[in-house]
């Protein structure tokens, strides 16, 4: 069995040590770090990209939030404007109503005074007319002019008794 040939042990061990140490040094100083660096770089790149993606996502969320906030603000402002316009409108309407009411009352009052005046004028005129009529009636009946003062007093008295 060649494995038990002791004379071959030494050269095998010597070259085992030489080659193993050489390979170890290559692995330790060259090959290992090279592979390790590549893997690490890749890992860093991937996690960096993931971080970047997370950052973008956060940014997008912030933009969305800002948009929603702006939207809400605009909505609130619009509501305010609408309410203000409504208030203004109703105020104007009530003012106009008040103005109209005032004008109508003034007109009614004026009309009433005019009617009253017309009524009193009419009453006065009736007195005059009655005096004239009574004077003419007297002239027709008597054939002579009646005393105006007496006729006027009689008419006045008649009008007082029969309102």
**Distance between CA atoms of 54 and 135, rounded to whole angstroms?**
118
Q: Which stretch binds other proteins (CB under 8 A): 17-25, 94-102, 118-126, 140-148?
A: 17-25
Question: Number of residues in contact with other proteins, rule: CB under 8 A?
Answer: 37
Name the minimum Å distance from CB 61 to other proteins.
30
Compose the 41-60 pattern: x for residues touching other proteins by CB under 8 A, - for all others: xx--x---------------
Tell me whether residue 48 or residue 55 sits nearer to other proteins (CB atom): 48
Q: Which stretch binds other proteins (CB under 8 A): 31-39, 53-61, 92-100, 127-135?
A: 31-39
Q: Is residue 5 near other proteins by the rule CB under 8 A?
A: yes
Contacting positions for other proteins (CB under 8 A): 1-5, 7-20, 22-24, 26-28, 30-32, 34-39, 41-42, 45
């Amino acid at each position: 069995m060649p494995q038990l040939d002791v004379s071959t042990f030494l050269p095998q061990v010597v070259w085992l040590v030489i080659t193993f140490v050489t390979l170890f040094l290559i692995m330790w100083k060259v090959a290992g770090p090279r592979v390790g660096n590549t893997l690490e770089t890749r890992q860093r790149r991937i996690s960096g990209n993931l971080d970047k993606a997370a950052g973008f996502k956060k940014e997008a969320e912030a933009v969305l939030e800002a948009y929603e906030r702006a939207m809400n603000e605009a909505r609130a402002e619009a509501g305010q404007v609408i309410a203000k316009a409504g208030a203004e409108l109703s105020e104007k309407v009530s003012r106009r109503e008040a103005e109209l009411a005032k004008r109508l009352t003034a007109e009614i009052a004026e009309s009433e005074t005019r009617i009253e005046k017309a009524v009193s004028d009419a009453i006065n005129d009736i007195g005059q007319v009655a005096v004239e009529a009574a004077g003419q009636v007297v002239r027709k009946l008597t054939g002579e002019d009646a005393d105006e003062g007496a006729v006027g007093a009689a008419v006045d008295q008649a009008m007082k008794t029969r309102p």
